[in-house]
Amino acid sequence: MDVADSLNTEKLEVSTPFIRDADIAELAKWPKVIAALTEAYGKPIKDVMVPPRIMARGEGFWLRSLCAVSPSGEYMGCKLIAASPKIRRASYLISLFDQRTMELAALVDGNRITDLRTAATAVVAANAVIPEGALRVGVIGSGSVAKSMLTALLSVREVSLARVFSPTPASRARFAASFLESNGLLLEAVDSAQAAIDGVDVVVCAARSRDESPVLLGDWLQPGMVVLSVGSTLPEQREVDSSAMARADLIIADMPEEVLHETGDALVATRDGVDVAGKTVSLADVVSGQKPARRSPDDIVIYKSVGTALQDVVTAEMLLREALSSNRYQLIPAGVVTIDR
């Protein structure tokens, strides 16, 4: 074997597991995603483990990076999002590194992971506030995120009543029909958001209006309600009004600082005189038992989510374990050099 052959053999011996989008569609079981995130949020999580996201911008496109160290002690990783609103295109890639060796452990197609972790983490929050019993659920929105959230909830909880509202009658009718077919759930399609949430325990709020006016008003909230709000993640976006933020006895945030300073719901409510910061706690503090989810069954609780790298990395590492145990991945015959330094 000459030198060239030796080098080629050496290169072929280095490989990296790549979990494809099709693999994730098969591997991502809602109860496992929810269990992984519940376990992660129950462990100590320091701020330095989940730093703020970074965005580089070009003309009509951007690249965002979200990094986190998993509290499992196994992996750390980064999700990269390349997006162009101008041409309506986006790609998602998650890289996982071994915390013990610093070696690249896997690359993961991140296309489905945002919806997976958003919905699963919302269920973690709902379970923390209402840990037992059948739930009455009102859904505002009929898009993919609303569908994921209700599907995730149904995978681990009994739902005794469910209603949905979205502005387009045909869309909410299709939404209801899809759950009757997939889950046998009799989901009533109603003609207003207020009607959808009347008398429910959990409000799934996964919609924003085109003009960014709130779709959930505080006047509609009733004692004991838990609102899962995931649709407002930027300063210019609105999903719940200031009255709803004022009526909440507790606001649980996946990333408190970002929720307070980067979401339109919190920014507008604060400007309107609501002490949003004073009643906001982290999801990690609630799940770990450091802070109570509520002091009375009548407390109104709002869960506000902007999404975090912790959720991405914990979901990706769970999928990696599942992929390795079931041989559901592709080996890329290449890797990165890990050096001593």
234-286 pLDDT, tens digit each: 888 899 999 999 999 999 999 999 999 989 999 999 999 999 999 999 999 99
**Contact predicate 247/216, CB 8 Å:** no
For residue 98, which amino acid is it? D
Mean pLDDT of 37-53: 94
Q: Are strands 330-332 and 16-19 parallel, antiparallel or unpaired?
A: antiparallel
With 50 as the cut, is the pLDDT of residue 11 above it? no
Instruction: Report the C-alpha dihedral over residues 250, 254, 20, 153, rounded to 10 degrees.
Output: -10
| CA atoms in the 13 A half-sphere facing the CB of 89 | 3
Banded pLDDT at 8 (limits 50, 70, 90): very low
CATH 3.30.1780.10 domain locations along the chain: 3-114+310-332
pLDDT for 334 equals 86
pLDDT for 227 equals 98
pLDDT for 13 equals 61
155-208 pLDDT, tens digit each: 999 999 999 999 999 999 999 999 999 999 999 999 999 999 999 999 999 887
Instruction: For residues 199 and 49, give the distance between their C-alpha atoms in angstroms, rounded to a whole number.
Output: 39
Q: How far is CA 157 from the centre of its chain?
A: 18
CATH class of the 3-114+310-332 domain in this structure: alpha beta
pLDDT for 2 equals 44
* Positions of E strands within the chain: 16-19, 54-57, 62-69, 75-84, 89-98, 104-109, 135-140, 159-165, 187-189, 202-205, 226-229, 250-253, 280-282, 301-304, 330-332
Predicted TM-score (pTM) of the model is 0.92
108-147 pLDDT, tens digit each: 999 999 999 999 999 999 999 999 999 999 999 999 999 9
Q: At what angle do helices 30-41 and 309-326 cross, to 10 degrees?
A: 130
pLDDT for 230 equals 92
For residue 324, which amino acid is it? L
Instruction: For residues 197 and 135, give the distance between their C-alpha atoms in angstroms, rounded to a whole number.
Output: 12
Give a three-class secondary structure readout of 192-213.
CHHHHHCCCCEEEECCCCCCCC
CATH 3.40.50.720 domain locations along the chain: 115-308
pLDDT for 10 equals 44
Fold of the domain spanning 115-308: Rossmann fold (3.40.50)
Mean pLDDT of 96-103: 97
